[in-house]
Amino acid sequence: MCSQFSSRGAGFILVLFSLLLTGCVHVQPIAERNLNANKPKQVIPNVNSQGITMHWQEKDNKTGVFEPLLDIKADNGMMKASSESGTLNQASGVLYKNGLPAAKFQAPHVKASRASNIVIAYNGVVLNSISPPGVKVTADRFIWRMIENKIIVYGNVHVVYQPPKARTPVAWGFAQRMTIDTQLQKLTIP
């Protein structure tokens, strides 16, 4: 009888122990595990890559439509996707004004900061007007201040205006520094 009691007692204690453990240990249901598997992984803060495209846009308060602000394509560079900022190499892009393409550019190096709404291009830059076409600006570097609607161009600045059907330029000029609007239509020399 004593041996029966100890085996029953041991079985009872084992069942009681199992019940206690079940209440203490969290077992994740299969459905919950599958949901966690589909959650996005942690985003890498900085990405060194090739073939980078950066696109800034902003929602128009009147229409509710997202309007483009900036497009850049680069051969390579480092980009921080969460802040829409980075340093890009062998880049070309389009600057927008009121959702419309205003000017296009090319530069060996570009630094773009969405938080500051500033693009800095350097080591030999070329800007071309889009609408109306015909204005070409070359310089050592430029800073585009998007909110202020101006491009400050520095170093060996050369401006040429040649309307699309003209055979030769109708206006040109040189300076060490110029400030130009985003559409490349109004310029001032300090």
User: 90, 95, 80, 83: which is closest to 110 by C-alpha?
Assistant: 90
| SS3 label, residue 27 | coil
pLDDT at 46: 60
pLDDT at 136: 97
Output 54-60 pairs: Cβ under 8 A, ≥24 positions apart.
54/79, 54/84, 54/86, 54/88, 54/93, 54/112, 56/84, 56/112, 56/114, 60/99
pLDDT at 190: 82
User: 113, 120, 47, 119: which is closest to 78 by C-alpha?
Assistant: 47
pLDDT at 131: 86
pLDDT at 41: 47
What one-letter code names the amino acid at 111? Answer: K
Q: What burial class does residue 186 get, using C-beta atoms within 10 Å of its C-beta: 0-12 exposed, 13-18 middle, 19+ buried? A: exposed
Q: 28-70 pLDDT, tens per residue?
A: 455 454 554 455 444 445 666 778 899 999 998 888 999 999 9
Close Cβ partners of 118 (under 8 Å, ≥ 6 residues apart): 112, 143, 144, 145, 146
pLDDT at 159: 97
What is the C-alpha end-to-end distance of the chain, expressed in Å? 109
pLDDT at 70: 96
What are the residue ranges in the chain where pLDDT is below 70?
Answer: 1-48
